[in-house]
């Protein structure tokens, strides 16, 4: 299995760009088998990293609560 430890340091945008590139290579069918396996494994690591970043972002999102007059009164978790 390829060493994909560097994936953990990538931003969401960089991870997604690499993942899109990998999908394109795999869909083209032009990569040799050994390369296809290696980039598929990297794609799996990138997918997991993107999912973890999205989950962390969701946990930080809050919605603003309003009084009955429309004035902000505070915040609460988005999925309360």
Q: Residue 75 in contact with residue 40, Cβ under 8 Å?
A: no
Tokens of 72: 């902000």
- Give the pLDDT of residue 56: 87
How far apart (Å, rounded) are the C-alpha atoms in residues 27 and 45? 18
pTM of the predicted model as reported, rounded to 2 decimal places? 0.72
Read off the pLDDT of residues 24-79 as tens digits, 9 standing for 90 and up.
999 999 999 999 999 999 999 999 999 999 988 877 777 778 888 988 888 877 76
- Give the pLDDT of residue 9: 95
Read off the pLDDT of residues 38-53 as tens digits, 9 standing for 90 and up.
999 999 999 999 999 9
Which region, left, alpha or beta, applies to residue 6 given φ > 0 means left and ψ of -120 to 50 means alpha? alpha
């Amino acid at each position: 299995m390829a060493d994909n430890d560097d994936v953990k340091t990538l931003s969401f945008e960089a991870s997604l760009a690499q993942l899109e590139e990998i999908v394109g290579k795999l869909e083209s069918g032009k990569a040799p088998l050994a390369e296809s396996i290696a980039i598929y494994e990297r794609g799996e690591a990138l997918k997991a990293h993107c999912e973890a970043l999205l989950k962390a972002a969701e946990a930080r999102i809050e919605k603003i609560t309003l009084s009955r007059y429309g004035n902000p009164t505070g915040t609460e978790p988005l999925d309360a």
